[in-house]
Structure 1
């Protein structure tokens, strides 16, 4: 995907930055000094040395913090790394596409926020760990993403490539679009009256529509000339690799169709391709007829 140099969304919130308990983000660090005209005592110097190396051990660079920089690293990711920039560009592209589509229907598109987190996060939908994978919370209209998922997508799920990652983001934004359209609120109201099997079957339709909406975004992105050779194949492969049947075969060697809640690999590919080909909301009705 040709994403470098393009606008980044201002709706990305990076919660990977960390600090000591009780120390607010951006709070200035005050250095204690001795009483002798501003000269540091030996004990103060020792405390500073211990603090310096203690912060380094936690992945915090005190020098960057004093200089006003990001200061905190999380694994191989930093607050200003290339992957974060990529996520910001993809989110911005979804904003542009859905603003145009909603405006065409005389409706204002309310942009979602995308929260980057590491290992654990709190949302209006409750707490979640990185093992949950990317998710959208309708309660606060935010997408949650641990960037380590992209490593798992490439290595564990064999779905490498930047457009495979873009597909994941566009799918979660698709849930936001469903929320604005009233699809998610309606499903959540109905779910309490459904059996587990019925809820799973309805969840499949919801997820496949989000795949189709991701395809609509890809359609308009292609029209901008931003797709490169192999991008569509990367997205289709990602859709295949995270199909319920493929995931269950990989994990346990057999499938349990009644437990599917996202759709088979074939279904996910087909609905993404449908949105990609047409670019029209009317072609993403997964609630009528067979899926």
Structure 2
């Protein structure tokens, strides 16, 4: 992928190496790790468990206000890559969202961290993987996730890594369209199985929106090289719920899916790549996920 000529975003905060004295919001790092593992084992978003534990222990947003990282594009290669991809998503969505959805795009922030930090949605730690917090409209990522993706799933490369970031930005687009608040409200009214199904639709739409970004980026900057699309599709396949469940517990439980199967993730990413249309990503109206 040709990313070196992308404009670097200034909406980056680099907290790597800062550490998190005393844990996140008063929780110890050990507690965060345990809650993270429990969440993944039970199919519950670890941020919900950690946020609840922080409320029980009186943890709040005070630490977030004290922890300020370095602002602007980092100078190391991994940091420059993340800032460049974010900048390119800004340039694409600044044009595409008004044209296709009649909405002005307000760019999210990107926080780079190592091990653990705080977010507007509660404590964050590396084991959670990258995530988007709608409360502070920020994407959080420990860039070591890219190494883990390569090591565990043999799914890496510049475009695969860019897809991961673009997927989280896709959640921000969903938030701007008013989809995330409506889904979160609905999830509180239904049972676990239906709530999981709503989560799958949200995640598959973000996959598709990542494809829409890549479509327009390639049209305008000729950013994709031979093999890039296959690289991203391999990454989407590697992180499907069915494949992850098979690897971790030896069986697949579709009702507990929260992100979608490998086939679904590949198909929706490809839909965005081929069409370049936000409307084509409406998983909530799709008859087949």
Q: If the length of structure 1 is used for normalisation, what is the TM-score?
A: 0.78
Which residue of 157, 168, 171 corresponds with 1:172? 168
Per-residue deviation, 1:120: 0.4
More helix by share: 2
Q: What does residue 6 of structure 1 align with?
A: 6
Q: Which has the higher contact order (CA 8 A, sep 6+)?
A: 2
Once the two structures are superposed, the pairs formed by residues 136-155 of structure 1 within 5 Å of their partners are 136-155=132-151
Q: Over aligned residue pairs, what C-alpha RMSD do you find?
A: 1.5
Per-residue deviation, 1:141: 0.1
Q: What does residue 87 of structure 2 align with?
A: 92
SS of residue paired to 1:277: helix
Per-residue CA deviation, residues 56-98 of structure 1 (Å, 9 max, x unaligned), is xxxxxxxxxxxxxx9xxxxxxxx52101101111001100110
Q: What does residue 197 of structure 1 align with?
A: 193
Per-residue CA deviation, residues 105-128 of structure 1 (Å, 9 max, x unaligned), is 442110000000000011111102
Once the two structures are superposed, the pairs formed by residues 96-245 of structure 1 within 5 Å of their partners are 96-104=91-99, 105-223=101-219, 224-245=221-242
Asked if 1:268 corresponds to 2:265, the answer is yes
Matched positions, count: 235
Per-residue CA deviation, residues 117-163 of structure 1 (Å, 9 max, x unaligned), is 00001111110210000000000000000011000011112101111
Return 5+ residue gaps in structure 2 as ranges: 22-69
Asked if 1:290 corresponds to 2:283, the answer is no
Question: Structure 1 stretches (4+) deviating beyond 4 angstroms?
Answer: none
SS of residue paired to 1:199: helix
Q: If the length of structure 2 is used for normalisation, what is the TM-score?
A: 0.79
Q: Which is higher, the Rg of structure 1 or of structure 2?
A: 1
SS of residue paired to 1:118: coil
Per-residue deviation, 1:103: 2.6
Per-residue deviation, 1:290: 2.1
Per-residue CA deviation, residues 194-232 of structure 1 (Å, 9 max, x unaligned), is 100000011101100000000100111221211111110
SS of residue paired to 2:85: helix
Cα gap change, 1:106 to 1:287, in 2 (>3 Å): closer
Do 2:6 and 2:85's aligned partners in 1 also have CA atoms closer than 8 Å? no
Return 5+ residue gaps in structure 1 as ranges: 22-69, 71-78
SS of residue paired to 1:209: helix
Asked if 1:82 corresponds to 2:77, the answer is yes
In structure 2, C-alpha distance between the alignment counterparts of 1:200 and 1:5, rounded to whole Å: 39
SS of residue paired to 2:169: helix
In structure 2, C-alpha distance between the alignment counterparts of 1:275 and 1:228, rounded to whole Å: 18
SS of residue paired to 2:75: coil
Do 2:132 and 2:172's aligned partners in 1 also have CA atoms closer than 8 Å? yes
Asked if 1:16 corresponds to 2:16, the answer is yes
SS of residue paired to 1:3: coil
